[in-house]
Structure formats: structure tokens, C-alpha cells
A and B are shown apart, each in its own frame.
Chain A
Amino acid sequence: MKPFVLMIEDDPQIRRFLRAALAAEDYQFHEAFTAEEGIAQAAARQPDLVLLDLGLPDRDGLEVIRGIRQWSQMPIVVLSARGQEKDKIAALDLGADDYVAKPFAVGELLARIRAALRRSARLATDGADTVIRFGDVQADFEKRSITVRGEEVHLTPNEFKLLQVLIKHAGRVVTQRQLLNEVWGPQHTEQSQYLRVYVAQLRRKLERDPARPRHLQTEPGVGYRLSLDHTDADS
């Protein structure tokens, strides 16, 4: 079945090329121009994914996320302006799945949409793989063993938990607050320094060149993203 995308965007030119791109990828779609209409259409049409512009004429796009998240976990990919890190974090913390900063290339947007759809399909079937491979790394959560290029690597419990959370959200940005909350608990959401140190340690153990990470990527000012499919681009 063709995935159904709800596009909430007020700018006609952007809608125009999104339409073209989505049609070329064989997606079905519907367009909404305002926040109000977007929330209503999301409820009425139950799309597989929402593509949301944050700058809408009637209300803040963040309210659309808040509205939808009250009753649905459908993936939401946000279109935001560059440099608006605060908006991005707010959108992600409210439950958006990912964001693409304008101006963006269509290829990048489609990749994010695909990743979000994959994640939601995985959640729906509840079939989280117990063995995950990315780059040189193989993570087996059942055996709690991590190997890099076939060699067992020892992770501390917190490092392991951090990797687990990143893998759970693989492909999407996870804000620092979300990571701290999921790994260390809700009392520690402000201690982002710890998080950075742990990510740095994890990179040293898993990445070939920790200063040029292939998988444990930083989204400056926002959070981290674990990219599983970077290997394809590499080789």
C-alpha cells in the first residue's frame, strides 16, 4: 500500500515541489494550509506521516504537534528555518520525529521521510531487532554484547544504555533532554555535560575516527542522531 502523507505548509511554491517530489516517489498525499486545518485533517484522514511547516499563518506549528500527540504517535517530520535551534528542540521535545532545515534538498527530505516511516512500521510490528549492525559495529541486545570489527568491546552500563536509546531512535535526532531523560532519568535532564562526555567515550569505542564520526552524529545545538545507513554512502 502506498504511504499516505499529510503536508501542512502554507507556502504555495514549497507545496508545489513537495507535491512533485512525493508524487515521483509514489506517495499519496493531502495538503493543508493552516494549523487548524492540519490538526483536523490529521484526525480525519489518519495519515501515515505528517510533514509540518513550523511557520503557519494562523498558529504556531508547535501547537499542531501538541495537538496530534494528544491522541496519536503518527510520525511527524518538521520543516524549519536554519538557525532556529530553539524551535527544533521544542518540536522534538513535543514529540516530532525529525526535522529538515530550509533550504533543503529533496533527497534529504525523502530520506528522512523514509526513515520515519520505517521506524513507525517497526514500532507497529513490535519487532525490534535484537541484533543491529552499523559500520563496523554489531550490537546484540539480547546477549548484551557489542563487537567492533568482530572484537568484543566493553561498554559501561550507561554507555550501553545510551547506545540502546540511540539505536531505538536510529535515524532521527534525539534531543539532549530526551537522551538524559531516557538514560539517566527525569531528574538529570539539565546535565548535558555528562551526556557529551559519554557520547565522546562511545565514539572512541565505536567510531574509526571519533573526530569524524560516521554514525554517532551531532546536530549542533539540538542533540544526536545515530545514522545506521552511513556505510552505504561510504563504500
Chain B
Amino acid sequence: MADTTELQIRDGSPADLAEAAELKATRSGSRASWREFAAAVIIVGFATLIALALRPYLAATNLAMVYLLGVVAVATRCNRPASVMASFLSVAAFDFFCVPPYLTLQVSEYEYLITFAGMLVVALVISAQTSRIRAQAARAVERESRTQALYRLSRRLSTKTRVFDTALAAAEVAEEVFGAPVTIFLPEEGRISFRKRTSDQLLISTAEEKIAQQVFDRGRKAGKGMENFPEAAATYVPLKGAGRMVGVLAILPGTHGQALHDDQHHLLDLFANQTALAIERTQSQNAAADARMQMETEEMRSSLLSAVSHDLRTPLASITGAASTLRSQGEKLEPAVRDELLESISEEALRLSRLVGNLLDMTRLESGMELRRDLYPLEEIVGAALQRMEPQLAGREVTATVPEDLPLVNVDDVLLGQVLVNLLENAAKYSPPGSAIEIAATATPAAVQLEVRDHGRGFAEGEEKRLFEKFYRGKSEGVRGAGLGLAICRAIVMAHRGTIEALHRDGGGAIFRIRLPLDGRPL
């Protein structure tokens, strides 16, 4: 949206464009004039041949018309000076070849002077008018291509969300439009950075680095074709945003080394303006997104803090309470009561240890810990997890079905083991004591699937996704936990490019299903 307005403001002035087109017309006059003059001479010569052929049959004044046709031909094809020259040349040729005495510029009858005058005036008017029409047409074409170039630029830039991508897209469009290598330099901590540039095509010497920096500091163009540093290889254009400098565009003009033309400079300025505004817009959008993320992070941190402080304090309170009771009243207590208190101390300490372990795991996972992957038999990981969980699974029938021919899985064994331990812990917590738990592995050509199934109450409809969110606790009553176990599972499985989902079991209970890709590609 912002781009459209920018475009209208920046290139909406027709006066600018007309001026540029005019400049182009004059410029092309001086550049290719010898060709145009030659064409004018040839056309006048051709008119003379026709006039000579017709001379026996027509009156001299009528032969003037042949020359006027020649002037029209010159005017439509060549520039103004050439057609003015053609006008004079035609009158001279008419005098020389068509007015007696032939082959001299002398005139026998003075009434021919009127013919000459009329002929000259008509020729000059024709050339003037035709030139104007040509200039207008050229202007229209110029405006069209310019508008198209700027439109292309704005469309390309509007889709970019990163500053560097925006600069890269702008440099690409500029290269297409100007047919010359373009590099955009972005600043880093207030200085033009040669690490943050869109291409390495421009091999810039140290001296030219200084030019780029100066252009950035002063906000004025410099380099080839400019007042400052005309000896430089490239032209440097400042990218001035609304508030500050956002970079420098460098263009290495022409493959033959000639400088940019005036109208190209004009277009380049428009380009630079639009690019600068787009970069600035991207920057401010990113800043807004960063701020939003920061806010979300803070919010998370505070919710984490409140959840964690509660979960840390509760077991600490039980431990402190039980221990102080034992100390102050130990002798008065029944042995059974003492045992109970001791048991609660060790249980709560274990709970605390698990919570701290989970928090550490989560933190490590979130800070992007590296997987130590290798090929493992799934059976071994399942076995180790069951062994670790043995005390908590006591009194339950736990079956593990892992087919012998299951392919090896490429995983971090410690982390995948942690997933299983968390799932088993979950199953033990949310299903009645003594109920069975099953682990089953199967393989498809692309993935290995592992399920942990329990016979508990399962989870509520609609909770399938939320279960894996951090600090989310299932709606079951009387179960305590920080809501981290499944979040850790998901983080680990995702780091392995696998999937994890919660399913309802027919007849009650929950199924947690992990799928791990065999070829390492995401499922």
C-alpha cells in the first residue's frame, strides 16, 4: 500500500518526465548528428534526381513540391538541425538544378525569389512541426518505459520483508533497467559495510570505498560522471530515506565505460528514492515485529516465572514442613508417621528434581541445542527408557512391541529417550495405578512410528494440540505437573523433523504417536 503512494509522489510529475524526454531528444541530436545529416543530404540528392527527371515535363515551381516532399521525409526521420539543413539545401538544389540558368545559383527571373522564400518557409515549418511531434512520441515512449521500470521496482520491493532482500531486489531491477552492474551497500553501525552488499560484481578498490562512505555521510552523488571523484569507476548514489540514509547504490555504467546519460541519471534518482523508502519501510516493519516479539517473550517469561515459582515452592514447602516437624517433634511421633514424613520428603525432592530437569531441558532445547545423532536400534532406546522409569511403573503391566526387522533410526538417543520417559511419566500420571501401558513400534517405507498407549481417562476433546504447549496442564484433577513434559517431547521430535500427536483411544485412554522420518526429510 505504502508503495503506491510513494510511487505517485515520486514519479507522478509529468513535467519531470517531459523535461527528461526533451533532454534525450537534444542529446541524441548531438550524438548521432553526422548520420542524420548524411541521411538528409542523401534524401535531398534523391529529390534532386526525381526533379531532374521531371524537369522537361513540369514547370519549375512545381518541381519545388518534390523538394518539399524530401524535406517532409527528412523531418520525419531525422532531428531538427538535420531537417533545417535539408530545408536550406533543398532551396539551394532547387535553384541550382531546376531554375534557369541551370547549374548556377544565378536566377534569371526575380519572381523565383518568391518561390524560394515560400519554399524555405514551408520547409522550415514542416521540419519544426514534425520534430515536435517526434519529440512528443519519444517522450511518451520514454515515460512509458520509465513508469514500467518504476512499477516493476515497486512491485518487487513490496513483497520483501527483510532489508537485505529489499536491497537485493532493487539492485536486480536496476541492473535490468540500466543494463549495468549495480550493487547496493547497506550500513552497519553507521558505516557503509562491505560485508552487507548485494553483489560482489563491483570489485571496489579501497579508494572507492571511501567515496561510498562519503556519499553515505554527505548524501550527495559522486563518482563517474559527477563533480566529485569523476575519475572513479562507478557512480555512487545515496539512498536517502525520509529520516536518514539507508545505504548507497553503486552503478558501474556501460560496458564500454561511458558515463550515464542525463535522463538515466534522472531515472536513477527516482530509483534510489524508491529503493530508500522501501528499505526504510522494511526496517520499520522489522522493528515493529521485533518489539512485538520482545513483548511476547516478556509475557512468556513472566508466565513462566509464575508457573515455575509455584511449582518450585510447593515441593519445597512440603520438604521444609516435613523436615522441621521431624526435627522438633520427631521423638513424639509414631514411627509410622515419621516414615510418612520421610517418604514425603524424598518424593517431593524427586518431584523437584524432575521439574528442574525439565526446565533445564526446555531451556537447552530452546537455545537450539545440537542433536548428537547416530543410528540406533529403537529397541535399545525403548529398553533404556523403561529401565529408567522402572520405579514409577512398578505394579503395571508394560508391554513393548518392537519388531526385530525395524530399521535403525538416526536420532539423538539421549533426547529420544527423554521423549519416551516423558510420555511414560505422563501415562503413569494420567492412568489408574496398575493399569497397563503399551509401547508399540512400526515401520513404513518413509518413517518409523512409535506409540505409547495408556488406559487412563485420556484428554478432553479439543485439547489435542494444546497439550503440547508449554505450561499447559491437562484438565484432569488431582494431577500435578508444570506442563513441560509434552512441550519438551514436541521440541525434541521437531528437532528430529518428526511429528508427535495425541489421539483418543477407543474405549478410553490416550495414544501418543511419534513419527520419525527415515531419510531425515521432514514428514
Taking Cβ atoms with an 8 Å cutoff, the residues of A that contact B are: 82-83, 85, 103, 105, 192-193, 196-197, 199-200, 203-204, 209-213, 217-221
Contact = CB atoms under 8 A, between A and B. Distances in A.
Nearest to B404: A204
Contact of A220 (B377, B402, B408, B414): B414
B342 interface: no
Contact of A193 (B349, B353, B375, B417): B375
A143 B386 CA distance: 35
B408 A193 contact: yes
Contacts of B377: 196-197, 200
A219 B379 contact: no
Interface string B385-407: 01100000000001011101000
Given A209-B400, A221-B372, A83 B381 contact: no
A120 to B, nearest CB: 26
B278 interface: no
Interface residues of B, number: 30
B376 interface: yes
Contact of A218 (B383, B398, B400): B383
A192 B380 CA distance: 13
A220 B404 contact: no
Contacts of A200: 377, 379-380
Most buried by A among B346, B376, B380, B404: B380
B379 A211 contact: yes
B353 A219 contact: no
Nearest to B413: A220
A220 B379 contact: no
A218 B380 CA distance: 7
Contacts of B376: 196
B413 A212 contact: no
A111 to B, nearest CB: 14
B380 A196 contact: yes
A143 B304 CA distance: 62
A32 B353 CA distance: 27
A212 B402 CA distance: 10
7 contacts: A82-B357, A83-B360, A103-B349, A193-B374, A196-B380, A200-B377, A210-B383
B39 interface: no
A83 B372 CA distance: 13
Contact of A221 (B350, B361, B414): B414
Interface centre among A82, A105, A211, by most B CB within 10 Å? A211
A201 to B, nearest CB: 10
A220 B400 contact: no
Closest 4 CB pairs of A and B: A211-B400, A218-B384, A221-B414, A220-B417
B382 interface: yes
